[in-house]
């Protein structure tokens, strides 16, 4: 009886493969937009010479 229940549920079947745990997704690095880049450039740009 117990074996029949296991077979019905699928516990006795060797076809079942235990799934591995899903891998955690790597943390995404903060992305720099073109606007951030432009702000960085203007902040660190040497002063322009006036003619």
pLDDT tens profile 2-39: 778 777 776 666 666 677 777 777 777 777 788 888 88
Identify the pLDDT of residue 36: 86
Identify the pLDDT of residue 51: 61
> If you average pLDDT over residues 45-50, what whole number do you get?
73
Alpha carbons 5 and 42: distance in angstroms, whole number: 72
Radius of gyration (C-alpha) of the chain in whole angstroms: 31
Confidence band (pLDDT; 50, 70, 90) for 45?
confident
Phi/psi for 33 (5° steps) reads -85, 170
Identify the pLDDT of residue 13: 60
Instruction: Give the distance from CA 1 to its chain's centroid.
Output: 46
């Amino acid at each position: 009886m117990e074996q029949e229940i296991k077979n019905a549920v699928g516990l006795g079947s060797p076809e079942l493969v235990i799934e591995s745990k899903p891998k955690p997704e790597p943390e995404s690095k903060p992305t720099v937009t073109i606007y951030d880049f432009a702000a960085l450039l203007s902040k660190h740009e040497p002063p322009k010479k006036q003619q």
